[in-house]
Amino acid sequence: MYFTSERRLDGDVLEREFILGEIPGILWTPGSASTSKSATATDSGSAPAPAPLILLGHPPLGLRKMYPRLVDRARHFAAEGFATATIELPGSGDRPRRPAAERACADLRRAMEAGEPVTDQIVDALVLPLVDEAVPEWRTALDALLSLPEIGGPVGYSGGVISIGIRLAVVEPRIVAAGLFAGSLVPRAMFEEARQVTVPLHVLLQWDDERNDRQAALDLFDAFGSREKTLHANMGGHTGVPRFAGDDAARFFGRHLK
Amino acid sequence: MYFTSERRLDGDVLEREFILGEIPGILWTPGSASTSKSATATDSGSAPAPAPLILLGHPPLGLRKMYPRLVDRARHFAAEGFATATIELPGSGDRPRRPAAERACADLRRAMEAGEPVTDQIVDALVLPLVDEAVPEWRTALDALLSLPEIGGPVGYSGGVISIGIRLAVVEPRIVAAGLFAGSLVPRAMFEEARQVTVPLHVLLQWDDERNDRQAALDLFDAFGSREKTLHANMGGHTGVPRFAGDDAARFFGRHLK
């Protein structure tokens, strides 16, 4: 992993773009967990305490397109003392295209526009290969991020494609809490994986999400094996998550990562 | 309304029992909104700002039995600057018994013990007369409470028999926000009233509530007419609401009553 750019945002958040192998990503660190260069400029001269890390998930629309929402979440979490990081998903942004995924995406669009049911085949083709490819990349990113002195554990995962969050929560022991967004299509196979999730969960549901089946989202919440799981449902469509719901999510991570 | 006792609890909360007509009740006020006697003892000599009021609903088990849970909620809200008050429900505690309600309650118990379905007739007989009798009493209590200089508007309603909260939210314009507990049987007629509710709502649901039908609770949440409504579902049974869920409710009232 090497950094390609660095700038300081309002509110004392350091934003650094990085490249990990061929995967671009962004790391945001709060003021108190700045680079070693800044740390030596402090009065005490001692390194600041490492910040707990939250991985920011996102839909496969490309980091550039998602940037405004990602940086908003990053600032929100930084204000609570969390570092956040994200990487480009397979097939998104400038990464090599995935023809099979694009065909599945076209099939999905066609079905939805025709008002036809979205079949299991479409959902599986759209999501399962993405999960299989993305999860090892996020774990590699985690290795690299946790090697930085300004980043500490424990680690949370927040938002994005819920199936990626489920798989990560099952296979990655360094993730100790997950805030998931019940806003994407979920293959049936993921319900079985959901039963294996045991970390504390905070699940957001937009009650009138036009892209999501509410009952399926409730069934998925029911399936999670975690003893502590909370569902926060709010009114409005897919992108209408109210501001206070973000505050609740930050408090959830505060309870489990600090 | 006249006060029958007064004592100061830890955390600078003033607890006063009162009688309103023949109905006993309890008022808790935070330190900053104390009685006029205490107010004159302050340095400035001016009266403290009136505290916003939250009416504390509860199940019809009697104030004495419910006291530990009520005082816990009252302290929690007082720490956030809210006054809270509650009154005994019709037929509970030392109030005259309601034979028809007791018959309905016995029918309910019989049906549940026999594993039989709880019929609409049982639910209606149990809940509708209670709502019809209790709601005017809570409104009378509100008149009396808001006449005290240490209590100000706006007013919230929190918890208790959800049908009482629904009716109050519909008919009482001084209630501007309601935190409801989806943990009691709801007559079908109340679903129609729920559609008329327009104040911001914060609904708690215990996912494994042994006394409640989860799907009915979700249907009721869906029915509410409010543009801002939030459902917080947590794991556990009827009385297992986690502490952080109470914090969330206090923040909800903070957003709407301050």
Per-residue confidence (pLDDT) for residue A187, from 0 to 100: 95
What average pLDDT score do residues A154-181 get?
Answer: 96
DSSP SS3 for B153: strand
Place of tokens 């085949």: A121
Given B218, B227, B234, which is nearest A230 (Cβ)? B234
Question: With an 8 Å Cβ cutoff, is B227 touching chain A?
Answer: yes
> Does the pLDDT at position B237 exceed 90?
no
Q: How far apart are CA B222 and CA A15, in angstroms?
A: 41
pLDDT band at B37 (very low <50, low <70, confident <90, very high): very low
- pTM for the model stands at 0.85
CA dist B128 → B4, B191, B222, B225 (Å):
31, 12, 21, 20
pLDDT at B31 over 90: no
Residue B122 domain-assigned (yes or no)? no
For residue A29, tell me if it sits in a domain. yes
Chain B residues close to A218, C-beta within 8 Å: 218
**pLDDT of res. B183:** 73
Residue A51 CA to residue B32 CA, distance in Å, equals 38
Better-predicted residue by pLDDT, A39 or B126 = B126
CB-based contacts of B134, cutoff 8 Å, min separation 6: B89, B90, B161, B164
Check residue B46 and give its pLDDT: 57
Instruction: For residue range B153-180, list pLDDT tens digits in order.
Output: 899 999 889 999 999 999 999 999 999 9
Give the model's pLDDT for residue A192.
96
pLDDT above 70 as % of chain A: 93
- Give pLDDT tens digits for A81-104: 999 999 999 999 999 999 999 999
- Smallest Cβ–Cβ distance between B235 and the set A227, A245, A251 belongs to A227
Is the pLDDT reported for residue B55 higher than 90?
Answer: yes
pLDDT of B202 strictly over 70: yes
Tell me the CB-side half-sphere exposure of residue B80, using CA atoms within 13 A: 22
Calculate the CA dihedral of residues A198, A204, A210, A214 and round it to 10 degrees.
50
Token output for B77: 């809200």
Which residue would you say has higher pLDDT here, B137 or B236? Answer: B137
Structure confidence at residue B90 (pLDDT): 97
User: What is the mean predicted confidence (pLDDT) over A145-166?
Assistant: 94
- Mean model confidence pLDDT for chain B: 91
> What pLDDT is attached to residue B43?
46
pLDDT at A41 over 50: no
- What's residue B75's pLDDT? 94
Note whether residue B104 is domain-resident.
no
Q: Judge whether B65 lies within some domain.
A: yes
Within 8 A of B244 by CB-CB distance, chain A residues are 251, 255
DSSP conformation letters of A32-50: GG--HHHHHTSSS-SPPPP
Nearest to A240 by CA among A203, A210, A214, A201: A210
pLDDT value of position A77: 94
Using a CB cutoff of 8 Å and minimum separation of 24, what contacts does A164-167 make? A164/A57, A164/A130, A164/A131, A164/A134, A164/A135, A164/A138, A165/A57, A166/A190, A166/A193, A166/A194, A166/A197, A167/A131, A167/A135, A167/A193
| Residue B152, beta-bridge partner list | B52
For A208-217, what is the mean pLDDT? 85
CB B20 within 8 A of CB B28: no
* Residue A191 belongs to some domain of the structure: yes
Ranking A179-183, A202-206, B17-21 by mean pLDDT, the lowest is A179-183
Question: Tokens in use for B204?
Answer: 């708690």
The predicted structure's pLDDT at residue A33: 46
Query: What is the structure's pLDDT at B42?
Result: 45
What is the predicted pLDDT for the residue at B239? 81
> What domain range is B21 assigned to?
2-96+133-257
Confidence of residue B16 (pLDDT cuts 50, 70, 90): very high
CATH number for position A200: 3.40.50.1820
- What is the predicted pLDDT for the residue at A47? 62
Average pLDDT, chain A: 91
Please tell me the total count of domains within chain A.
1
Quick one: pLDDT band at residue B34, thresholds 50, 70, 90?
very low
Is residue B115 situated within a structural domain?
no
Note whether residue A112 is domain-resident.
no
**Residue A45's beta-bridge partner residues?**
none
- Residue A153 is predicted with a pLDDT of 81
| Residue A46's pLDDT band (cuts 50, 70, 90) | low
Better-predicted residue by pLDDT, A22 or B213: A22
Rounded to an integer, the average pLDDT of B96-105 is 93
Name the B residues in 172-211 with CB < 8 Å from any A CB.
207
Instruction: State which residue of chain A sits closest to B224, comparing Cα positions.
Output: A235
Q: Which of A205-214, B26-35, B48-57 has the highest mean pLDDT?
A: B48-57
User: pLDDT band at B242, cuts 50/70/90?
Assistant: confident
Predicted confidence (pLDDT) at residue A57 exceeds the cutoff of 90: yes
Q: Do B229 and A221 touch (CB under 8 A)?
A: no
Q: Is some CB atom of chain A closer than 8 A to the CB atom of B231?
A: yes
Taking only residues 9 to 38 of chain B, the set having a beta carbon closer than 8 angstroms to any beta carbon of chain A reads none
CB-nearest to B235 from A228, A235, A244 is: A228
- Look up residue A32 and give its two tokens: 């108190």
Q: Is the pLDDT of residue B33 over 60?
A: no
For the segment A168-176, the average pLDDT, to the nearest whole number, is 97
**Within-domain flag for A120:** no
Chain B 72-131, CB below 8 Å of chain A: which residues? none
